[in-house]
Chains A and B, each alone.
Chain A
């Protein structure tokens, strides 16, 4: 084929399953479900239920409080059929969309129950100070573009996931946040976050925030890194500091929610 040989460490299936399907609530949900659910929520549910899921009296998603339902099956039915005699309308969501919404609702509860204990203001100070997180990440336009943007991380990630990520970054790196290391035909080594890839080309943002688009046929080597360039904060943060940081991250809901 003439393409550059590409070295990839394939994770064991067990590890992959764990990465892709963190256990949250009653079911195993894909992290992509939670993300998709978050977007569906913001476009369809947000106006009535509010950013915290607590705008309807008697309903509070973050506390897992519902009026008529408890199981996922109940929720699936209510999302599809609505609640007659109330403002909750029936919907045309597909089964997958309904499951994604439920994954997100359950993740809201999970976030609230395990990480409401910290102090968000102290967490912000840690992120910007001791943690030096902005040297790689960005929050609402502040910081570096090299790593994943954290501006809406509180809307799309659960607390437990964020804790794990901070303590053991290598264990939970998502495919869309992989870094790559390439060596060009001229011998230049460039490392950056993969923005897009197809059979013949690769697009990255490097650690100097430069955008590159490569033809793979022009590369001498191309390695998709399965380890994270993020350091572990195990032992660097106290458990109290970790709770503060996660509590702050959970307040980050993106521009749409501000």
Chain B
């Protein structure tokens, strides 16, 4: 038996080398059995062409295996699957290679981050990227590490930022051509954010784009005085890429200090922006700012979802974006032009959007020392949780927080290197990042839902309501099934067309990452992290 298993693994490795070429990354549609990038494709739709699990048989899903992480941190990672091998991070920064059919472990790369690491919101990691036979991981002490995908040996490691100043890396890198692109987190510590590209072979920095422009750079005038030096602008979620335009798209986080904008007069570019960068040079092609002069911590740190479809009857290259600020946007991704926007959940900070998509601010919604009640609360109408777009249904699926507010107290903000630089404290009866097993606070204090929006009309097609809020990502498939979870620890299969619940499993811990699907030996699997473990499901034989 042991011998047989070894031969099986041996043949898997010998016949299916993890040679992930750029061509493969550019054409994930040719191999829907794999999940090669964080968002499933450069277009970041989290849509899979696999259809073995469908609306009729989803009720027959059953557990195949569980991987238990040796960590009590939030499990935010999305795995990659390459030819039967699943690559996963366990928090904070271990990488694990598993047999995607059984959960059996090939190897573990253990990385111990420096004690200087000070990630703002949990020692988390959201996954790896792969190119050739090399995996790439950002660490909470702000390193970028290349790892041999066959044996888990580190190949190179570079320091991207100074962890003592609050720089950290939490998202899965993006591979474009021969470069590894990452952004930094740390706006809560008054960093000056950037996105940087590194040579995949050597780790040498190829280009860097400062998300907060310095003297002489365009946009610098949107910062009063020298506040740009600690202006935040993190980029802590993976971007997307359009090969035809050679543009990399990224969402930029909040300005620093988060909740006290008194000193940083101006729009504070490029905080809370979608930005388009030339993939070869990192030069800014265009930007669109969702929340100018943000005082709410409404990071634009969402996945830029790219969609080629008809818009008002004509083919258009679009970008769709459900923002933390409570608005859903459609942009032209060739030039950043605003096409459409609407609130998708209750918000009180803006009266609406003007014809260019700029918010019209509501009165008496700025933070005050006494506290100001603002919708949505600090975690937003949605957040970094991956949405999904199905080209089949034409619907955009959003993990949404409903009727969620904060009481936002402004406080003095003084920059001290390495200390929190937030200028306030938002408070809400809703637990911010994690919840315990008890939920009696909801009903009037927010709830969650999967919301399906028709981007062409703004119409809310359906809602799948949950009692608790949800921090889960969403996956849609060619068989019109939507997979998602929530903080209650349920994992769902829903009908992508009307939101009917097809199946559910109680996983006993919050789903705080995006589900994926893959196929090995003819069997389609769906994998999702919940609590401190990764669960893989497939159909009962």
| Residues of chain A whose beta carbon lies under 8 Å from any beta carbon of chain B | 1-2, 8, 10-11, 13, 16-17, 20-21, 27-28, 30, 32-33, 73, 76, 94-96, 98-99, 175-176, 178, 194-200, 224
Q: 21 A–B contact pairs at CB < 8 A?
A: A1-B500, A8-B444, A20-B407, A27-B370, A27-B409, A95-B424, A95-B425, A96-B432, A98-B425, A175-B440, A175-B442, A196-B437, A197-B467, A198-B439, A198-B467, A198-B488, A199-B468, A199-B490, A200-B490, A200-B504, A224-B443
Cβ of B353 under 8 Å from chain A: no
Cβ of B80 under 8 Å from chain A: no
- Name B's interface SS: loop
Indicate if the CB atoms of A175 and B441 lie closer than 8 Å: yes
Contacting A at CB under 8 A, from B472-531, are: 486, 488, 490, 500-501, 504
Contacting A at CB under 8 A, from B418-453, are: 420, 422, 424-427, 429, 432, 437-445
Total A-B Cβ pairs within 8 A: 85
Indicate if the CB atoms of A175 and B429 lie closer than 8 Å: yes
| Residues of chain B whose beta carbon lies under 8 Å from any beta carbon of chain A | 369-371, 373, 407, 409, 411-412, 420, 422, 424-427, 429, 432, 437-445, 464-468, 486, 488, 490, 500-501, 504
Nearest residue (CB) in B for A2 is B501
Indicate if the CB atoms of A10 and B444 lie closer than 8 Å: yes
With the chains together, A23 CA to B504 CA distance in Å? Answer: 43
Q: Residue among A11, A21, A27, A197 with the most chain B CB within 10 A?
A: A197
Closest 6 CB pairs of A and B: A176-B440, A95-B425, A198-B488, A199-B467, A199-B466, A99-B425
Nearest residue (CB) in A for B488 is A198
Q: A76-B411, A95-B411, A199-B465 are in contact. Are A32 and B429 (CB under 8 A)?
A: yes
With the chains together, A17 CA to B486 CA distance in Å? Answer: 27
With the chains together, A21 CA to B486 CA distance in Å? Answer: 28
Indicate if the CB atoms of B501 and A1 lie closer than 8 Å: yes
Please indicate the chain A residues that have their CB under 8 angstroms from the CB of B432 in the complex: 96
Indicate if the CB atoms of A94 and B420 lie closer than 8 Å: yes
Indicate if the CB atoms of B407 and A30 lie closer than 8 Å: yes
Expressed in whole angstroms, the minimum distance between the Cβ of B14 and any Cβ of chain A is: 47
Q: A10-B444, A30-B407 are in contact. Are A195 and B438 (CB under 8 A)?
A: yes
Indicate if the CB atoms of A30 and B440 lie closer than 8 Å: no
Nearest residue (CB) in A for B438 is A196
Q: A28-B370, A198-B468 are in contact. Are A16 and B407 (CB under 8 A)?
A: no
Nearest residue (CB) in B for A8 is B443
Nearest residue (CB) in B for A193 is B440
Q: Residue among B426, B440, B466 with the most chain A CB within 10 A?
A: B440
Nearest residue (CB) in A for B448 is A199
Question: What 6 new A-B contacts, CB under 8 Å, besides A198-B439, A198-B488, A199-B486?
Answer: A17-B373, A27-B409, A94-B425, A95-B420, A194-B440, A195-B440
Please indicate the chain B residues that have their CB under 8 angstroms from the CB of A33 in the complex: 427
Partner of B407, one of A28, A73, A76, A199: A28
With the chains together, A28 CA to B370 CA distance in Å? Answer: 6
Q: Residue among B425, B438, B442, B486 with the most chain A CB within 10 A?
A: B425
With the chains together, A99 CA to B427 CA distance in Å? Answer: 9
Expressed in whole angstroms, the minimum distance between the Cβ of B540 and any Cβ of chain A is: 22
With the chains together, A8 CA to B467 CA distance in Å? Answer: 13
With the chains together, A76 CA to B411 CA distance in Å? Answer: 9
Partner of A175, one of B370, B444, B467: B444
Expressed in whole angstroms, the minimum distance between the Cβ of A19 and any Cβ of chain B is: 9
Expressed in whole angstroms, the minimum distance between the Cβ of B256 and any Cβ of chain A is: 13
Indicate if the CB atoms of B409 and A99 lie closer than 8 Å: yes
Q: Residue among A20, A30, A176 with the most chain B CB within 10 A?
A: A20
Nearest residue (CB) in A for B468 is A198
Nearest residue (CB) in A for B120 is A94
Indicate if the CB atoms of B440 and A178 lie closer than 8 Å: yes
Please indicate the chain B residues that have their CB under 8 angstroms from the CB of A11 in the complex: 444
With the chains together, A184 CA to B442 CA distance in Å? Answer: 23
Expressed in whole angstroms, the minimum distance between the Cβ of A190 and any Cβ of chain B is: 17
Q: A175-B441, A175-B445, A198-B439 are in contact. Are A21 and B411 (CB under 8 A)?
A: no
Expressed in whole angstroms, the minimum distance between the Cβ of B417 and any Cβ of chain A is: 15
Please indicate the chain A residues that have their CB under 8 angstroms from the CB of B438 in the complex: 195-196
Please indicate the chain A residues that have their CB under 8 angstroms from the CB of B490 in the complex: 198-200
With the chains together, A198 CA to B509 CA distance in Å? Answer: 13
Partner of A196, one of B371, B412, B427, B440: B440
Nearest residue (CB) in A for B492 is A199
Please indicate the chain A residues that have their CB under 8 angstroms from the CB of B488 in the complex: 198-199
Q: A1-B501, A99-B409 are in contact. Are A176 and B422 (CB under 8 A)?
A: no
Q: A27-B409, A33-B427, A175-B445 are in contact. Are A197 and B371 (CB under 8 A)?
A: no
With the chains together, A222 CA to B69 CA distance in Å? Answer: 38
Expressed in whole angstroms, the minimum distance between the Cβ of B440 and any Cβ of chain A is: 4
With the chains together, A221 CA to B45 CA distance in Å? Answer: 40
Indicate if the CB atoms of A27 and B439 lie closer than 8 Å: no
Expressed in whole angstroms, the minimum distance between the Cβ of A195 and any Cβ of chain B is: 7
Please indicate the chain B residues that have their CB under 8 angstroms from the CB of A194 in the complex: 440
